[in-house]
Structure 1
Amino acid sequence: MSSLIQSYNEALGLFTQTEEKIASFIMTNPEAALELSVNDLASRLNVSPSMVVKASQKMGFTGYSQLKLAVASELNVLVQREKSTILIEDLDAYEDLVSSTIREAYSRLGEDDLKKAAELLVESENIDIYAFGFDAVAGHDLYLKMLQSGKRVKLIENGYEQMISAYNLKDDSVVVAISSTGTSIDLLDALKFSEKTGASVITVTPAGSRLSTYSNVNLESYYS
Protein backbone atom coordinates (compact mmCIF):
# COMPACT_ATOMS: atom_id res chain seq x y z
CA MET A 1 0.00 0.00 0.00
CA SER A 2 2.80 2.40 -0.88
CA SER A 3 0.67 5.28 -2.21
CA LEU A 4 -1.57 5.25 0.86
CA ILE A 5 1.46 5.05 3.13
CA GLN A 6 3.00 8.03 1.38
CA SER A 7 -0.26 10.00 1.60
CA TYR A 8 -0.47 9.20 5.30
CA ASN A 9 3.14 10.15 5.96
CA GLU A 10 2.86 13.44 4.08
CA ALA A 11 -0.20 14.37 6.13
CA LEU A 12 1.34 13.55 9.53
CA GLY A 13 2.40 17.11 10.15
CA LEU A 14 -1.10 18.37 9.32
CA PHE A 15 -3.14 15.99 11.46
CA THR A 16 -4.62 16.92 14.80
CA GLN A 17 -4.23 14.22 17.45
CA THR A 18 -7.75 12.95 16.75
CA GLU A 19 -7.25 12.92 12.98
CA GLU A 20 -3.97 11.00 13.36
CA LYS A 21 -5.82 8.44 15.51
CA ILE A 22 -8.37 7.97 12.72
CA ALA A 23 -5.80 7.74 9.92
CA SER A 24 -3.61 5.33 11.91
CA PHE A 25 -6.57 3.01 12.46
CA ILE A 26 -7.35 2.95 8.74
CA MET A 27 -3.73 2.29 7.79
CA THR A 28 -3.27 -0.52 10.30
CA ASN A 29 -6.75 -2.06 9.83
CA PRO A 30 -7.58 -1.60 6.13
CA GLU A 31 -9.91 -4.61 5.91
CA ALA A 32 -11.89 -3.45 8.93
CA ALA A 33 -12.06 0.10 7.54
CA LEU A 34 -13.68 -1.20 4.36
CA GLU A 35 -16.49 -2.77 6.38
CA LEU A 36 -17.25 0.38 8.37
CA SER A 37 -19.35 3.35 7.30
CA VAL A 38 -18.20 6.80 8.27
CA ASN A 39 -20.65 6.75 11.19
CA ASP A 40 -19.59 3.26 12.29
CA LEU A 41 -15.90 4.20 12.21
CA ALA A 42 -16.60 7.39 14.14
CA SER A 43 -18.52 5.44 16.77
CA ARG A 44 -15.79 2.80 17.06
CA LEU A 45 -13.10 5.43 17.61
CA ASN A 46 -15.32 7.68 19.71
CA VAL A 47 -14.93 10.64 17.37
CA SER A 48 -17.33 12.66 15.23
CA PRO A 49 -18.07 11.67 11.59
CA SER A 50 -16.85 15.08 10.47
CA MET A 51 -13.41 14.29 11.95
CA VAL A 52 -13.26 11.11 9.86
CA VAL A 53 -13.99 13.17 6.75
CA LYS A 54 -11.38 15.79 7.67
CA ALA A 55 -8.72 13.12 8.25
CA SER A 56 -9.52 11.64 4.82
CA GLN A 57 -9.26 15.06 3.18
CA LYS A 58 -5.89 15.77 4.76
CA MET A 59 -4.64 12.56 3.15
CA GLY A 60 -5.64 14.00 -0.23
CA PHE A 61 -9.09 12.44 -0.73
CA THR A 62 -12.42 14.18 -1.17
CA GLY A 63 -13.85 12.22 1.74
CA TYR A 64 -13.99 8.87 3.50
CA SER A 65 -15.73 7.13 0.58
CA GLN A 66 -12.90 7.97 -1.82
CA LEU A 67 -10.34 6.89 0.77
CA LYS A 68 -12.12 3.53 1.08
CA LEU A 69 -11.99 3.12 -2.70
CA ALA A 70 -8.22 3.64 -2.61
CA VAL A 71 -7.87 1.11 0.22
CA ALA A 72 -9.99 -1.43 -1.68
CA SER A 73 -8.01 -0.89 -4.89
CA GLU A 74 -4.65 -1.46 -3.24
CA LEU A 75 -5.84 -4.48 -1.28
CA ASN A 76 -7.07 -5.97 -4.55
CA VAL A 77 -3.64 -5.47 -6.10
CA LEU A 78 -2.07 -7.33 -3.18
CA VAL A 79 -4.54 -10.21 -3.55
CA GLN A 80 -3.82 -10.51 -7.27
CA ARG A 81 -0.10 -10.56 -6.60
CA GLU A 82 -0.48 -13.30 -4.03
CA LYS A 83 -2.15 -15.45 -6.71
CA SER A 84 0.84 -15.19 -9.01
CA THR A 85 3.03 -18.31 -8.71
CA ILE A 86 5.79 -16.66 -10.69
CA LEU A 87 5.83 -13.64 -8.43
CA ILE A 88 5.82 -15.80 -5.31
CA GLU A 89 8.82 -17.70 -6.66
CA ASP A 90 10.57 -14.42 -7.40
CA LEU A 91 9.76 -13.14 -3.92
CA ASP A 92 11.12 -16.33 -2.35
CA ALA A 93 14.37 -15.92 -4.26
CA TYR A 94 14.52 -12.26 -3.27
CA GLU A 95 13.88 -13.14 0.36
CA ASP A 96 16.82 -15.58 0.31
CA LEU A 97 19.05 -12.90 -1.23
CA VAL A 98 18.02 -10.28 1.31
CA SER A 99 18.49 -12.68 4.22
CA SER A 100 21.98 -13.67 3.14
CA THR A 101 22.92 -10.02 2.57
CA ILE A 102 21.68 -9.03 6.01
CA ARG A 103 23.58 -11.89 7.66
CA GLU A 104 26.77 -10.91 5.86
CA ALA A 105 26.41 -7.23 6.76
CA TYR A 106 25.55 -8.03 10.37
CA SER A 107 28.65 -10.20 10.73
CA ARG A 108 30.79 -7.14 9.92
CA LEU A 109 28.96 -4.65 12.12
CA GLY A 110 29.88 -3.97 15.72
CA GLU A 111 27.10 -4.90 18.10
CA ASP A 112 27.68 -1.79 20.22
CA ASP A 113 27.23 0.44 17.16
CA LEU A 114 24.04 -1.35 16.18
CA LYS A 115 22.67 -1.05 19.69
CA LYS A 116 23.46 2.64 19.89
CA ALA A 117 21.89 3.32 16.48
CA ALA A 118 18.78 1.36 17.46
CA GLU A 119 18.46 3.29 20.73
CA LEU A 120 18.69 6.62 18.91
CA LEU A 121 15.94 5.59 16.51
CA VAL A 122 13.69 4.28 19.26
CA GLU A 123 14.04 7.42 21.37
CA SER A 124 13.58 9.86 18.48
CA GLU A 125 10.41 11.80 17.77
CA ASN A 126 11.27 12.56 14.15
CA ILE A 127 13.58 10.84 11.67
CA ASP A 128 15.12 12.31 8.52
CA ILE A 129 16.69 9.86 6.06
CA TYR A 130 19.12 11.40 3.55
CA ALA A 131 20.30 9.38 0.56
CA PHE A 132 21.04 9.85 -3.15
CA GLY A 133 20.80 7.64 -6.22
CA PHE A 134 21.27 3.94 -5.60
CA ASP A 135 21.66 4.57 -1.86
CA ALA A 136 18.05 5.77 -1.86
CA VAL A 137 16.99 2.13 -2.28
CA ALA A 138 18.33 1.37 1.20
CA GLY A 139 16.88 4.67 2.39
CA HIS A 140 13.41 3.76 1.14
CA ASP A 141 13.57 0.38 2.83
CA LEU A 142 14.45 2.03 6.14
CA TYR A 143 11.74 4.63 5.55
CA LEU A 144 9.05 1.95 5.27
CA LYS A 145 10.27 0.09 8.33
CA MET A 146 10.33 3.23 10.47
CA LEU A 147 6.90 4.23 9.16
CA GLN A 148 5.47 0.84 10.07
CA SER A 149 6.89 1.23 13.57
CA GLY A 150 4.86 4.40 14.03
CA LYS A 151 7.67 6.93 13.67
CA ARG A 152 7.39 10.32 11.99
CA VAL A 153 9.87 9.84 9.18
CA LYS A 154 10.89 11.56 5.93
CA LEU A 155 13.04 10.24 3.09
CA ILE A 156 14.74 13.15 1.31
CA GLU A 157 16.82 12.58 -1.82
CA ASN A 158 17.38 16.18 -2.93
CA GLY A 159 20.47 17.86 -1.48
CA TYR A 160 18.89 21.31 -1.17
CA GLU A 161 15.80 19.88 0.56
CA GLN A 162 18.06 17.90 2.91
CA MET A 163 19.76 21.11 4.04
CA ILE A 164 16.44 22.91 4.57
CA SER A 165 15.03 20.02 6.58
CA ALA A 166 18.23 19.63 8.62
CA TYR A 167 18.21 23.34 9.48
CA ASN A 168 14.72 22.98 11.00
CA LEU A 169 15.31 19.84 13.07
CA LYS A 170 15.02 19.71 16.84
CA ASP A 171 17.16 17.95 19.43
CA ASP A 172 14.66 15.06 19.62
CA SER A 173 15.28 14.26 15.95
CA VAL A 174 17.59 11.75 14.28
CA VAL A 175 19.21 12.00 10.86
CA VAL A 176 20.21 8.81 9.05
CA ALA A 177 22.68 9.66 6.28
CA ILE A 178 23.36 6.85 3.81
CA SER A 179 26.25 7.14 1.36
CA SER A 180 28.19 4.31 -0.24
CA THR A 181 30.90 6.78 -1.33
CA GLY A 182 31.00 9.08 1.70
CA THR A 183 32.01 12.00 -0.52
CA SER A 184 28.77 13.96 -1.03
CA ILE A 185 29.32 17.68 -0.31
CA ASP A 186 25.55 18.31 -0.18
CA LEU A 187 25.11 15.58 2.40
CA LEU A 188 28.05 16.92 4.39
CA ASP A 189 26.45 20.39 4.44
CA ALA A 190 23.15 18.94 5.62
CA LEU A 191 24.88 17.17 8.50
CA LYS A 192 26.60 20.42 9.50
CA PHE A 193 23.17 22.04 9.77
CA SER A 194 21.76 19.13 11.75
CA GLU A 195 24.67 19.31 14.21
CA LYS A 196 23.77 22.92 15.05
CA THR A 197 20.19 21.89 15.93
CA GLY A 198 21.32 19.23 18.40
CA ALA A 199 19.80 16.39 16.36
CA SER A 200 21.48 12.99 16.59
CA VAL A 201 23.11 11.60 13.46
CA ILE A 202 23.57 8.02 12.27
CA THR A 203 25.81 7.65 9.24
CA VAL A 204 26.09 4.60 7.01
CA THR A 205 29.31 5.26 5.12
CA PRO A 206 32.70 3.75 4.29
CA ALA A 207 35.39 3.82 6.95
CA GLY A 208 37.13 7.18 7.30
CA SER A 209 34.37 9.16 5.59
CA ARG A 210 34.17 12.89 6.42
CA LEU A 211 30.47 12.39 6.99
CA SER A 212 31.18 10.31 10.09
CA THR A 213 32.76 13.39 11.71
CA TYR A 214 29.25 14.66 12.37
CA SER A 215 27.71 11.39 13.52
CA ASN A 216 26.85 9.97 16.93
CA VAL A 217 27.35 6.52 15.50
CA ASN A 218 28.74 5.42 12.12
CA LEU A 219 27.89 2.01 10.73
CA GLU A 220 30.98 2.19 8.55
CA SER A 221 31.71 -1.51 8.35
CA TYR A 222 28.51 -2.00 6.37
CA TYR A 223 30.37 -0.75 3.29
CA SER A 224 33.78 -2.21 4.11
Structure 2
Amino acid sequence: MLIQDQLKNHDLFSEAEKSIAAYFLNRQFALDGESIRHVAQATFTSPATVMRFCQRMGFEGYADFRDAYLKETAYLSSHFQDIDANRPFLETDPPMTVAGKLSGLYSETVRDTLSLLNQRELETAVAILDKAQNIYIASAGVYSDLASAFRESMSKIGKTVIISPSTGVYYEACYRNADSCFILISYSGETPRNIEAARRLGKRNVPTISITSYGSNTLADLCSCRLYISTRQKLISNLGNFSINLSVLYLLDVLYAGCFRLHYRENEALKIRFSKETEHRTSDNPILREEP
Protein backbone atom coordinates (compact mmCIF):
# COMPACT_ATOMS: atom_id res chain seq x y z
CA MET A 1 0.00 0.00 0.00
CA LEU A 2 1.20 3.51 -0.78
CA ILE A 3 2.05 5.74 2.16
CA GLN A 4 -0.49 8.36 1.09
CA ASP A 5 -3.22 5.71 1.15
CA GLN A 6 -2.19 4.69 4.65
CA LEU A 7 -2.33 8.33 5.73
CA LYS A 8 -5.84 8.70 4.32
CA ASN A 9 -7.09 5.66 6.23
CA HIS A 10 -8.15 7.47 9.41
CA ASP A 11 -10.40 4.79 10.86
CA LEU A 12 -7.91 3.46 13.40
CA PHE A 13 -6.09 6.74 14.11
CA SER A 14 -6.35 8.66 17.36
CA GLU A 15 -7.13 12.38 17.16
CA ALA A 16 -3.43 13.22 17.50
CA GLU A 17 -2.55 10.74 14.75
CA LYS A 18 -5.24 12.19 12.48
CA SER A 19 -3.66 15.60 12.93
CA ILE A 20 -0.21 14.27 12.03
CA ALA A 21 -1.54 12.35 9.00
CA ALA A 22 -3.39 15.42 7.70
CA TYR A 23 -0.23 17.50 8.11
CA PHE A 24 1.87 15.05 6.11
CA LEU A 25 -0.76 14.86 3.34
CA ASN A 26 -0.91 18.63 3.13
CA ARG A 27 2.84 19.28 3.22
CA GLN A 28 4.11 16.65 0.75
CA PHE A 29 7.30 18.09 -0.85
CA ALA A 30 7.41 20.87 1.76
CA LEU A 31 8.22 18.19 4.33
CA ASP A 32 11.77 18.06 2.95
CA GLY A 33 14.13 19.34 5.62
CA GLU A 34 11.50 19.62 8.35
CA SER A 35 12.55 18.24 11.72
CA ILE A 36 10.44 16.04 13.93
CA ARG A 37 10.26 18.90 16.42
CA HIS A 38 8.83 21.19 13.74
CA VAL A 39 6.15 18.61 12.84
CA ALA A 40 5.25 18.18 16.51
CA GLN A 41 4.85 21.93 16.99
CA ALA A 42 2.75 22.31 13.84
CA THR A 43 0.41 19.47 14.85
CA PHE A 44 0.22 20.38 18.55
CA THR A 45 1.67 17.02 19.51
CA SER A 46 5.06 15.88 20.81
CA PRO A 47 8.16 14.51 19.04
CA ALA A 48 7.53 11.18 20.79
CA THR A 49 3.99 11.05 19.37
CA VAL A 50 5.25 11.78 15.85
CA MET A 51 7.94 9.11 16.25
CA ARG A 52 5.40 6.49 17.39
CA PHE A 53 3.12 7.40 14.48
CA CYS A 54 5.93 6.86 11.97
CA GLN A 55 6.81 3.55 13.59
CA ARG A 56 3.17 2.51 13.40
CA MET A 57 3.37 3.22 9.68
CA GLY A 58 6.13 0.60 9.45
CA PHE A 59 9.26 2.76 9.63
CA GLU A 60 12.12 2.88 12.12
CA GLY A 61 11.52 6.54 12.80
CA TYR A 62 10.57 9.93 11.43
CA ALA A 63 13.61 10.37 9.16
CA ASP A 64 13.00 7.03 7.43
CA PHE A 65 9.32 7.85 7.00
CA ARG A 66 10.03 11.32 5.62
CA ASP A 67 12.56 10.03 3.07
CA ALA A 68 10.23 7.28 1.86
CA TYR A 69 7.25 9.65 1.70
CA LEU A 70 9.20 12.23 -0.30
CA LYS A 71 10.37 9.50 -2.70
CA GLU A 72 6.81 8.25 -3.16
CA THR A 73 5.49 11.79 -3.68
CA ALA A 74 8.13 12.40 -6.34
CA TYR A 75 7.13 9.18 -8.12
CA LEU A 76 3.41 9.97 -8.06
CA SER A 77 4.08 13.49 -9.35
CA SER A 78 6.06 12.23 -12.35
CA HIS A 79 4.68 10.82 -15.61
CA PHE A 80 0.98 10.24 -16.35
CA GLN A 81 0.14 13.92 -15.96
CA ASP A 82 -1.96 13.97 -19.15
CA ILE A 83 -3.00 10.30 -19.34
CA ASP A 84 -5.46 8.38 -17.16
CA ALA A 85 -4.08 4.85 -16.91
CA ASN A 86 -7.49 3.54 -15.83
CA ARG A 87 -9.47 5.25 -18.62
CA PRO A 88 -6.99 6.13 -21.36
CA PHE A 89 -9.66 6.73 -24.02
CA LEU A 90 -13.24 7.96 -24.27
CA GLU A 91 -16.40 6.43 -25.67
CA THR A 92 -16.50 9.15 -28.35
CA ASP A 93 -12.89 8.68 -29.52
CA PRO A 94 -12.52 7.38 -33.10
CA PRO A 95 -10.25 4.34 -33.59
CA MET A 96 -7.16 6.30 -34.63
CA THR A 97 -7.51 8.57 -31.60
CA VAL A 98 -7.70 5.48 -29.38
CA ALA A 99 -4.59 4.12 -31.09
CA GLY A 100 -2.74 7.38 -30.47
CA LYS A 101 -3.76 7.50 -26.82
CA LEU A 102 -2.66 3.91 -26.24
CA SER A 103 0.67 4.73 -27.86
CA GLY A 104 1.09 7.55 -25.36
CA LEU A 105 0.04 5.27 -22.51
CA TYR A 106 2.60 2.65 -23.54
CA SER A 107 5.40 5.20 -23.72
CA GLU A 108 4.51 6.60 -20.30
CA THR A 109 4.26 3.11 -18.82
CA VAL A 110 7.75 2.09 -19.91
CA ARG A 111 9.25 5.37 -18.67
CA ASP A 112 7.35 5.00 -15.42
CA THR A 113 8.56 1.43 -14.89
CA LEU A 114 12.13 2.45 -15.68
CA SER A 115 11.94 5.19 -13.04
CA LEU A 116 11.10 2.53 -10.43
CA LEU A 117 14.08 0.33 -11.24
CA ASN A 118 16.82 0.29 -8.64
CA GLN A 119 20.28 -0.60 -9.96
CA ARG A 120 21.25 -2.75 -6.99
CA GLU A 121 17.96 -4.66 -6.99
CA LEU A 122 18.15 -5.23 -10.75
CA GLU A 123 21.74 -6.47 -10.59
CA THR A 124 20.80 -8.80 -7.73
CA ALA A 125 17.84 -10.18 -9.69
CA VAL A 126 19.97 -10.83 -12.79
CA ALA A 127 22.66 -12.53 -10.68
CA ILE A 128 20.02 -14.77 -9.07
CA LEU A 129 18.69 -15.82 -12.48
CA ASP A 130 22.16 -16.40 -13.90
CA LYS A 131 23.12 -18.66 -11.00
CA ALA A 132 19.87 -20.66 -10.86
CA GLN A 133 19.67 -24.12 -12.41
CA ASN A 134 15.89 -23.79 -12.67
CA ILE A 135 13.79 -20.62 -12.68
CA TYR A 136 10.19 -20.93 -11.50
CA ILE A 137 7.60 -18.25 -12.25
CA ALA A 138 4.45 -18.14 -10.14
CA SER A 139 1.73 -16.45 -12.14
CA ALA A 140 -1.91 -16.62 -13.14
CA GLY A 141 -4.11 -15.33 -15.94
CA VAL A 142 -2.44 -13.09 -18.50
CA TYR A 143 0.78 -13.12 -16.47
CA SER A 144 1.17 -16.77 -17.50
CA ASP A 145 1.14 -15.73 -21.16
CA LEU A 146 3.77 -13.07 -20.47
CA ALA A 147 5.80 -15.65 -18.54
CA SER A 148 5.60 -17.99 -21.55
CA ALA A 149 7.28 -15.38 -23.75
CA PHE A 150 10.00 -14.99 -21.10
CA ARG A 151 10.44 -18.77 -20.92
CA GLU A 152 10.90 -19.01 -24.69
CA SER A 153 13.50 -16.24 -24.73
CA MET A 154 15.43 -17.74 -21.82
CA SER A 155 15.36 -21.23 -23.34
CA LYS A 156 17.29 -19.90 -26.35
CA ILE A 157 20.21 -19.01 -24.08
CA GLY A 158 20.15 -22.30 -22.18
CA LYS A 159 18.13 -21.25 -19.12
CA THR A 160 15.32 -23.47 -17.86
CA VAL A 161 12.13 -21.62 -16.90
CA ILE A 162 9.16 -23.46 -15.39
CA ILE A 163 5.80 -21.71 -15.15
CA SER A 164 3.97 -22.73 -12.00
CA PRO A 165 0.29 -21.79 -11.69
CA SER A 166 -0.37 -19.96 -8.45
CA THR A 167 -2.54 -22.88 -7.30
CA GLY A 168 0.52 -25.15 -7.26
CA VAL A 169 3.38 -22.81 -6.44
CA TYR A 170 3.32 -23.63 -2.72
CA TYR A 171 3.98 -27.31 -3.43
CA GLU A 172 6.88 -26.38 -5.71
CA ALA A 173 8.21 -24.19 -2.90
CA CYS A 174 8.15 -27.12 -0.48
CA TYR A 175 10.68 -29.15 -2.49
CA ARG A 176 13.02 -26.71 -4.23
CA ASN A 177 16.53 -25.88 -3.00
CA ALA A 178 18.91 -22.93 -3.26
CA ASP A 179 20.02 -23.97 -6.75
CA SER A 180 16.59 -22.84 -8.00
CA CYS A 181 14.93 -19.43 -7.83
CA PHE A 182 11.38 -18.10 -8.03
CA ILE A 183 9.86 -15.04 -9.69
CA LEU A 184 6.59 -14.20 -7.94
CA ILE A 185 4.28 -11.86 -9.86
CA SER A 186 1.37 -10.08 -8.15
CA TYR A 187 0.21 -6.52 -8.83
CA SER A 188 -1.29 -6.11 -5.36
CA GLY A 189 1.51 -8.01 -3.66
CA GLU A 190 -1.13 -9.62 -1.46
CA THR A 191 -1.97 -12.81 -3.38
CA PRO A 192 -2.29 -15.40 -0.57
CA ARG A 193 -0.74 -18.36 -2.43
CA ASN A 194 2.27 -16.33 -3.52
CA ILE A 195 2.76 -15.06 0.02
CA GLU A 196 2.58 -18.61 1.43
CA ALA A 197 5.11 -19.75 -1.18
CA ALA A 198 7.46 -16.83 -0.43
CA ARG A 199 7.44 -17.68 3.28
CA ARG A 200 8.21 -21.33 2.55
CA LEU A 201 10.98 -20.41 0.10
CA GLY A 202 12.52 -18.06 2.65
CA LYS A 203 12.72 -20.92 5.16
CA ARG A 204 14.46 -23.07 2.53
CA ASN A 205 16.87 -20.26 1.55
CA VAL A 206 15.62 -20.26 -2.04
CA PRO A 207 16.22 -16.87 -3.74
CA THR A 208 13.06 -15.01 -4.72
CA ILE A 209 12.29 -12.04 -6.97
CA SER A 210 9.02 -10.18 -6.50
CA ILE A 211 7.31 -8.20 -9.26
CA THR A 212 4.63 -6.13 -7.55
CA SER A 213 3.12 -2.67 -7.33
CA TYR A 214 5.17 0.13 -5.78
CA GLY A 215 4.75 0.74 -2.07
CA SER A 216 4.48 -1.46 0.98
CA ASN A 217 3.11 -4.95 0.37
CA THR A 218 3.59 -8.34 1.99
CA LEU A 219 5.08 -10.18 -0.98
CA ALA A 220 7.80 -7.62 -1.68
CA ASP A 221 8.75 -7.60 2.01
CA LEU A 222 9.27 -11.38 1.94
CA CYS A 223 11.39 -11.65 -1.21
CA SER A 224 15.16 -11.51 -1.76
CA CYS A 225 14.84 -8.61 -4.18
CA ARG A 226 12.03 -6.43 -5.49
CA LEU A 227 11.06 -5.08 -8.88
CA TYR A 228 8.12 -2.73 -9.21
CA ILE A 229 5.35 -2.55 -11.79
CA SER A 230 4.10 0.85 -12.96
CA THR A 231 1.58 1.60 -10.22
CA ARG A 232 -1.15 3.75 -11.76
CA GLN A 233 -4.10 1.42 -12.26
CA LYS A 234 -6.89 0.39 -9.92
CA LEU A 235 -7.32 -3.34 -9.36
CA ILE A 236 -10.83 -3.44 -10.85
CA SER A 237 -12.16 -0.07 -12.05
CA ASN A 238 -10.21 0.22 -15.30
CA LEU A 239 -10.89 -0.31 -19.01
CA GLY A 240 -8.20 -2.97 -19.30
CA ASN A 241 -4.85 -3.82 -17.74
CA PHE A 242 -2.95 -2.03 -20.51
CA SER A 243 -0.35 -0.44 -18.24
CA ILE A 244 0.02 -3.36 -15.82
CA ASN A 245 0.57 -5.99 -18.51
CA LEU A 246 3.05 -3.89 -20.47
CA SER A 247 4.99 -3.07 -17.31
CA VAL A 248 5.33 -6.78 -16.39
CA LEU A 249 6.38 -7.64 -19.96
CA TYR A 250 8.98 -4.86 -19.91
CA LEU A 251 10.45 -6.07 -16.61
CA LEU A 252 10.67 -9.66 -17.85
CA ASP A 253 12.38 -8.44 -21.03
CA VAL A 254 14.82 -6.41 -18.91
CA LEU A 255 15.65 -9.53 -16.87
CA TYR A 256 16.19 -11.57 -20.03
CA ALA A 257 18.41 -8.87 -21.53
CA GLY A 258 20.37 -8.67 -18.29
CA CYS A 259 21.03 -12.41 -18.35
CA PHE A 260 21.93 -12.28 -22.04
CA ARG A 261 24.44 -9.47 -21.43
CA LEU A 262 26.41 -11.46 -18.85
CA HIS A 263 27.53 -13.94 -21.52
CA TYR A 264 26.85 -11.81 -24.58
CA ARG A 265 29.01 -13.41 -27.29
CA GLU A 266 28.29 -16.96 -26.18
CA ASN A 267 24.54 -16.32 -25.94
CA GLU A 268 24.43 -14.53 -29.29
CA ALA A 269 26.19 -17.42 -31.01
CA LEU A 270 23.96 -20.02 -29.37
CA LYS A 271 20.75 -18.15 -30.11
CA ILE A 272 21.58 -17.66 -33.78
CA ARG A 273 22.82 -21.23 -34.19
CA PHE A 274 19.78 -22.90 -32.66
CA SER A 275 17.35 -20.49 -34.31
CA LYS A 276 18.79 -21.40 -37.71
CA GLU A 277 18.38 -25.07 -36.90
CA THR A 278 14.74 -24.82 -35.84
CA GLU A 279 13.20 -21.69 -37.38
CA HIS A 280 13.01 -22.21 -41.14
CA ARG A 281 11.43 -18.92 -42.11
CA THR A 282 11.78 -16.90 -45.30
CA SER A 283 10.54 -13.53 -46.52
CA ASP A 284 10.63 -11.45 -49.69
CA ASN A 285 10.88 -8.31 -47.58
CA PRO A 286 14.54 -7.17 -47.71
CA ILE A 287 14.29 -5.80 -44.18
CA LEU A 288 13.35 -9.23 -42.82
CA ARG A 289 15.46 -11.38 -45.12
CA GLU A 290 18.59 -12.87 -43.55
CA GLU A 291 21.90 -12.65 -45.36
CA PRO A 292 23.15 -16.04 -46.64
> Does the CA contact (< 8 Å) of 1:129 and 1:143 recur in 2?
no
User: How many Å apart are 1:134 and its aligned residue?
Assistant: 2.9
Aligned match of 2:187: 180
Question: Is this contact kept in 1: 2:137–2:147, CA < 8 A?
Answer: yes
**8 Å contact from structure 1 (residues 135, 180) kept in 2:** no
Cα distance change of structure 1 residues 118 and 95 upon mapping to structure 2, 3 Å threshold:
farther
Structure 1 Cα separation of the partners of residues 141 and 177 of structure 2: 27
Is the CA contact (8 Å cut-off) linking 1:128 and 1:174 kept in structure 2?
yes
Partner of residue 220, structure 1: 228
| Matched pairs, number | 130
TM-score for the superposition, normalised by structure 1:
0.51
Aligned to 2:218: 210
Q: Secondary structure at the match of 1:219?
A: strand
Residue 137 of structure 1: how far off its partner (Å): 3.4
Distance 1:200 1:187 in 2: 14
Question: Residues 221, 97 of structure 1: CA spacing in aligned structure 2 closer, same or farther, 3 A cutoff?
Answer: closer
Equivalent residue in structure 2 for 1:153, among 153, 161, 179: 161
CA distance in 2: counterparts of 1:137 and 1:222, whole angstroms: 19
Judge conservation of contact 1:182–1:210 (CA < 8 Å) in 2: yes
C-alpha distance after superposition, 1:169-224 (max 9, x if no partner)? 11111100011121211111111221222110000012211011221101135446
Task: Give, in angstroms, the shift of residue 163 of structure 1.
Answer: 1.0
Distance 1:184 1:118 in 2: 24
Match of 1:124 in 2: 132
Post-superposition offset of 1:97: 8.8
Q: Given residue 164 of structure 2, which amino acid in structure 1 is its aligned partner? A: I
The structure richer in helix per residue is: 1
Larger Rg: 2
CA contact (8 A) 1:109 1:221 kept: no
Secondary structure of the residue aligned to 1:153 is strand
Change (3 A) 1:116 1:162: same
Instruction: Give the secondary structure class of the aligned counterpart of 2:138.
Output: strand
Q: Which has the higher contact order (CA 8 A, sep 6+)?
A: 2
User: What fraction of aligned residue pairs are identical, expressed as a percent?
Assistant: 22
What is the distance in 1 between the residues matched to 2:122 and 2:183? 13
Deviations for 1:98-126, whole angstroms, at most 9, x for unmatched residues? 78754542233112211111111111111
Query: For the Cα contact (< 8 Å) 1:202–1:218, is it kept in 2?
Result: yes
Correspondence for 1:143 among 151, 161, 176: 151
**Aligned counterparts of 2:230 and 2:152: Cα–Cα separation in 1:** 20
Q: Are the aligned partners of 2:112 and 2:230 in contact in 1 as well (CA < 8 Å)?
A: no
Normalising by structure 2, we get a TM-score of 0.40
Change (3 A) 1:223 1:173: farther
The aligned amino acid for 2:161 is V
CA 1:110/1:158 → structure 2, altered by over 3 Å: closer, same or farther? closer
> Which segments of 5 or more consecutive residues in structure 2 lack a partner in the other structure?
1-101, 233-292
Work out the CA distance in 1 between the residues paired with 2:128 and 2:104: 29
2:116/2:228 contact within 8 Å kept: no
**CA-atom RMSD, angstroms?**
2.6
Contact 1:127-1:153 at 8 Å conserved across structures: yes
Give, in whole Å, the separation in 2 of the partners of 1:108 and 1:199: 25
Q: CA 1:107–1:126 in structure 2 vs 1: closer, same or farther (change >3 Å)?
A: same
- 1:171 is paired with a residue whose SS is coil
Indicate conservation of the 8 Å contact 1:109/1:222, yes or no: no
Residue 115 (structure 1) aligned with residue 133 (structure 2): no
SS at match of 1:114: helix
